[in-house]
């Protein structure tokens, strides 16, 4: 079977790597892919947002299955369009993907069906939003309604930060139409974790919990990014809590979506705040998380194609997930200045130096055009082409071993202005 993966980041590199282990797959394509993906799959120069171009390619190449990595094509309805053309695709419908595409819709859905989440208010007027903030004394989180590449939630510990966020979103329009409406919610206290689950619309199969590190600097300081690293399993989520999350959050939201005429098939990402052994929902995403995928899939023994097929045939209850008895840590190597402005085109060195039990998943990379004639880029430099450039993933028998191994190998990679957090995985060590 020929498989197409849509996207070009670290998550998609990990998906291509995992799919390549299936005996049911003959060829893998990726649109648009990146320098690392091109060495294990055929990359095609089609943007992830070019739905019509992707459909044409899938037809021309007789693609047997398409997997969608990023959220934008899902929210824009790529699954509906593929299915309308009789093409096989993995992911939720446009209506179901609203769980990520509209913070307002998701919050209202959680309120209606009693799913634990922060108290909130919705605003379409910056003046009314500011008056609400002026009348509050407690910290808040200001969230963009639409998609914002992981940067649309601003934690406001004081009124000045909240008022500035409202202006940036609704007056300066830094997120465009995604900021037409905002959600202002109470700031939940505790520690964050992520639980992803496979679902066929009625059954759920939760994956091991992971912990993302969204802030750019050590100690969870600085602005939010798309994710500076992650580790799994997350000991913060005990077996008992994992069960409660499945029963009190995951199953209810899947039933709620079905009740609202938006049955959900695919992977549902749940961002959670954990405090005193209880979980509340921060957000839902309609796809594999990034960088959580990069630490979850390397620990999964199952054939991913078998799971996807069971979801399509609505027999997920027959599948039992089989996990390796290892820990995984991912450190993101970013361009200096990210998540703000950064310079592309820096030559990356050291990609051939990593050791066993270490994986390198490319994100913002490309080949420097030096004229050599090689479809795999042999003899050509790999350069930076994004804010998040590389994902270094290490496995170990313990979080400590995985952490030591990942940073030993991070030190072998170089590019100008390279930046990374030095504390990914440290939170797990408190549970030894």
Do 69 and 165 reside in the same domain of the chain? no
Do 197 and 277 reside in the same domain of the chain? yes
Assigned token pair, 425: 């995985």
Do 245 and 163 reside in the same domain of the chain? no
CA distance 239 to 253: 20
Do 245 and 291 reside in the same domain of the chain? yes
Q: Structurally, how many domains does the chain consist of?
A: 4
pLDDT given at position 151: 82
Do 393 and 298 reside in the same domain of the chain? no
Using the 3D structure, point to which of 256, 283, 318 is the last residue of a domain. Answer: 318
Tell me whether residue 237 is in a domain. yes
Counting Cβ atoms within 10 Å, is residue 422 exposed (0-12), middle (13-18) or buried (19+)?
exposed
pLDDT given at position 379: 58
**Domain CATH for 240:** 3.30.470.20
Tell me whether residue 101 is in a domain. no
Tell me whether residue 238 is in a domain. yes
Do 204 and 265 reside in the same domain of the chain? yes
Using the 3D structure, point to which of 168, 186, 204 is the last residue of a domain. Answer: 186
Tell me whether residue 301 is in a domain. yes
pLDDT given at position 378: 54
**Domain CATH for 404:** 3.90.600.10
Do 181 and 213 reside in the same domain of the chain? no
Contact 213/421 with Cβ under 8 angstroms? yes
Do 9 and 31 reside in the same domain of the chain? yes
Write b or e for each residue in 144-182: b if 16 or more Cβ atoms lie within 10 A of its Cβ, otherwise e: bbbbbebebbbbbeebebbbebbebbbeeebbeebbebb
Tell me whether residue 112 is in a domain. no
Do 360 and 392 reside in the same domain of the chain? yes
pLDDT given at position 357: 81
Do 299 and 332 reside in the same domain of the chain? no
Tell me whether residue 124 is in a domain. yes
Question: Which residue stretches of the chain have pLDDT < 70?
Answer: 370-379
> How far is residue 83 from each of residues 92, 100, 243, measured CA to CA in Å?
11, 21, 34
Tell me whether residue 111 is in a domain. no
pLDDT given at position 376: 47
Using the 3D structure, point to which of 318, 347, 364 is the last residue of a domain. Answer: 318
User: By C-alpha distance, which of 337, 325, 286 is closest to 92?
Assistant: 286
Here the contacts of 308-311 (C-beta below 8 Å, separation 24 or greater) are 308/65, 308/67, 308/90, 310/200, 311/90, 311/198, 311/199, 311/200, 311/265, 311/266
pLDDT given at position 371: 45
pLDDT given at position 234: 98
pLDDT given at position 432: 73
Here the contacts of 111-115 (C-beta below 8 Å, separation 24 or greater) are 112/256, 113/252, 113/253, 113/255, 113/256, 113/259, 114/252, 115/248, 115/249, 115/252, 115/253, 115/256, 115/281
Do 305 and 197 reside in the same domain of the chain? yes
Do 261 and 195 reside in the same domain of the chain? yes
List the domain range (segments joined by +) for residue 278: 191-318
**Domain CATH for 51:** 3.40.50.20
Tell me whether residue 389 is in a domain. yes
């Amino acid at each position: 079977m020929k498989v197409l993966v849509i996207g070009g980041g670290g998550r998609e590199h990990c998906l291509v790597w995992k799919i390549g282990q299936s005996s049911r797959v003959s060829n893998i394509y990726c649109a648009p892919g990146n320098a690392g993906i091109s060495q294990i799959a055929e990359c095609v120069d089609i943007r992830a947002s070019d739905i019509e171009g992707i459909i044409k390619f899938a037809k021309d190449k007789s693609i047997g299955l398409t997997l969608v990595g990023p959220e934008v094509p899902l929210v824009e309805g790529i699954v509906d369009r593929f299915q309308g053309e009789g093409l096989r695709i993995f992911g939720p419908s446009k209506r179901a993907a609203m769980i990520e595409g509209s913070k307002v819709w998701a919050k209202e859905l959680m309120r209606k069906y009693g799913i634990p989440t922060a108290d909130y208010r919705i605003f379409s007027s910056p003046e009314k939003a500011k008056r609400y903030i002026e009348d509050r004394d407690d910290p808040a989180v200001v969230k963009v309604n639409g998609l914002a590449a992981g940067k649309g939630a601003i934690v406001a510990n004081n009124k000045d930060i909240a008022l500035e966020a409202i202006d940036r979103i609704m007056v300066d329009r830094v997120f465009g139409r995604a900021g037409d409406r905002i959600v202002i919610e109470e700031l939940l206290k505790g520690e964050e974790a992520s639980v992803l689950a496979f679902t066929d619309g009625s059954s759920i199969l939760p994956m091991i919990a992971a912990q993302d590190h969204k802030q750019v600097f050590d100690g969870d300081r600085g602005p939010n990014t798309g994710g500076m690293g992650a580790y799994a399993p997350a000991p913060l989520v005990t077996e008992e809590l994992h069960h409660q999350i499945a029963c009190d959050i995951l199953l209810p939201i899947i039933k709620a979506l079905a009740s609202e005429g938006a049955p959900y098939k695919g992977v549902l990402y749940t961002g959670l705040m954990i405090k005193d052994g209880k979980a509340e929902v921060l957000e839902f995403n309609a796809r594999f998380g990034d960088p959580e995928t990069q630490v979850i899939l390397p620990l999964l023994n199952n054939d991913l194609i078998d799971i996807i097929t069971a979801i399509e045939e609505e027999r997920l209850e027959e599948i039992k997930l089989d996990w390796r008895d290892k820990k995984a840590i991912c450190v993101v190597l970013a361009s200096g200045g990210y998540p703000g402005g950064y310079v592309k085109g820096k030559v990356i060195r050291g990609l051939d130096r990593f050791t066993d039990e270490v994986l390198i998943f490319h994100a913002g990379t490309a080949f420097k055009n030096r004229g050599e004639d090689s479809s795999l880029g042999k003899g050509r430099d790999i350069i930076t082409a994004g804010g998040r450039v590389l994902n270094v993933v290490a496995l170990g028998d313990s979080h400590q071993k995985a952490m030591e191994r990942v940073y030993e190998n991070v030190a072998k990679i170089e590019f100008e202005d390279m930046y990374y957090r030095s504390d990914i995985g440290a939170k797990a060590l408190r549970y030894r």
